[in-house]
Structure 1
Amino acid sequence: MFIFERVFLFMRVISLVPSITETLFDLGLTTDEIVGRTKFCIHPKELVDNVEIIGGTKNLNIEKIKSLKPDLIIANKEENIKEQVEELMIDYKVLLTNIETLEDNYYLIKQLGNLLGKEDRAQLFNLKTYEAFDFPKAEKRLKVAYLIWKNPYMTVGGDTFISRILEELGFENLFKNEKRYPEIQLEDLKEADLIFLSSEPFPFKEKHIEEIQEVCKNQKIKIVDGEAFSWYGTHLAKCGEYYRVLSEDL
């Protein structure tokens, strides 16, 4: 296992995770330092367009990564394939992250700030993240079914980051007793007060609301910004207004 020291040792960084790529740029790294990213790393657009693509999160181009001669690779336990990450660990310093809670997110940003010599910016984003969730919540927790996929319909269990964000926003995950991302039937949603259709990874649209409403006639159905619920790192700090408006609307 590598011991991670401050980033003046790391001049070339590759991010294998979209939300971490955004975080690295938010902390102040440049396109001279971030030399590789996945095709799903889309923020901030004006900067990521100038960074080499090394495949997708699940199908990394190992040879392309090697050609970029990285000093540090940042991966994630859930978003990347274990075997590919382990292959990279043989020859490179790999920081493997695992974010399940807001506390994990706090320590991720703090750790990256320490590694990169960006402690002040990291602390600022952690403070903004805290403020994003600091607004009055409804006294009664509404039960939410959060859908991430169609054909088959899939939701989120209680052991996911998305479920933790729902809780932080004052909702109750209808499927909190399930694990990871279970398949469900529309009939299973009838116990929910609200049904959230995520904008990603499946791009739910208004037409899908109509389809589901035919079965779930008594539930309020709303398309929500998937990034606001699943992108960890500094992205959460930018979602405070979205969270407040969503909560007030419901």
Structure 2
Amino acid sequence: MKTIKDQIGREIILKNTPKRIVSLVPSQTELLCDLALENELVGITKFCVHPYHLKSTKQIVGGTKKVDYEKIKALNPDFILCNKEENAYDMLPELEKIAPTYFSDVNNLNDSIDLILHLGSIFNRRTEADNLAHKIEYKLADFKQFIKDKPIRKVAYFIWAKPWMVAGNDTYINEMLQLNKFENIYDTMSRYPKVEINRIRHEGDPDVVILSSEPFPFKDEHALEIASFTNRSITAFGDGEMFSWPGSRILLAFDYFKQLHKKLESHF
């Protein structure tokens, strides 16, 4: 028996190394598989799309905000994995009745690496976690070399339409924007504020508008509507997983960011 702390400072008592895991976080479901824990994973959400085959091999227990507690209980889990941003905190009392529940809180790359190493320790996958962390650090150093001479560009990163919502400060997305030398025009606003697109020039008139692929399915009509209120911005449909999924998805994100910059450069 041991006591651990999750990333929001809660103490959790584990009797043994967990062998039956329910993950309510898509990015962390992918991470568990990359830590060689697919066999231990018994329950996932309907949004856990990587690896793709999991939807046909694991029990789907609901979404990230609303789950079927009876389905989770029937799986007899000994560990439930949540995230402060992805999951509703008011789910915690019911989840704790079923199994020890861990909440991650990832706002930057350091938090992500800490999570990888912590889960590696909890699940006895230290070698896999160390290898993954080293790969991320190597790719990060390479990307910093790639980006160092790139110009700073003003950016607005939209996550929802009508009401229009953007990524503000104190978010993992904002950290990824900064890493890319994208100056977020909504950096002075916290988290995910609603904005008026007819004021976008007043807010900073971005060089680039990024429309995230998740959680809202943006279309050309949305891009045209936003563009009508800017002077010169270029609109890019961005892969939301690359900007907002911590964990092992980061390894793919750095190459994606390189390609994104190359596409943008052809427009400037």
TM-score (norm: length of structure 2): 0.87
**Structure 2 residue 87 is the aligned partner of structure 1 residue 80:** yes
1:2 aligned residue (8, 12, 23)? 12
- 1:3-42 superposed matches below 5 A: 3-4=13-14, 9-30=17-38, 32-42=39-49
**Structure 2 residue 228 is the aligned partner of structure 1 residue 214:** yes
C-alpha displacement at 1:139, in angstroms? 4.5
CA contact (8 A) 1:154 1:181 kept: yes
Aligned residues: 247
1:229 aligned residue (235, 243, 249)? 243
Give the Cα–Cα distance (whole angstroms) in 2 for the partners of residues 161 and 4 of structure 1: 29
**Structure 2 residue 152 is the aligned partner of structure 1 residue 141:** yes
CA contact (8 A) 1:163 1:173 kept: yes
RMSD across aligned C-alpha pairs, in angstroms?
1.6
Q: Which has the higher contact order (CA 8 A, sep 6+)?
A: 1
- 1:96-115 superposed matches below 5 A: 96-115=103-122
**Structure 2 residue 173 is the aligned partner of structure 1 residue 162:** yes
Q: Secondary structure at the match of 1:218?
A: coil
**Structure 2 residue 123 is the aligned partner of structure 1 residue 116:** yes
Give the Cα–Cα distance (whole angstroms) in 1 for the partners of residues 67 and 92 of structure 2: 9
C-alpha displacement at 1:121, in angstroms? 1.8
CA contact (8 A) 2:24 2:82 kept: yes
Once structures 1 and 2 are overlaid, which stretch shifts more, 204-213 or 159-168? Answer: 204-213
**Structure 2 residue 184 is the aligned partner of structure 1 residue 173:** yes
**Structure 2 residue 251 is the aligned partner of structure 1 residue 242:** no
CA contact (8 A) 1:196 1:224 kept: yes
Give the Cα–Cα distance (whole angstroms) in 2 for the partners of residues 180 and 194 of structure 1: 20
TM-score (norm: length of structure 1): 0.93
CA contact (8 A) 2:243 2:253 kept: no
Unaligned residue ranges in structure 1 (runs of 5+): none
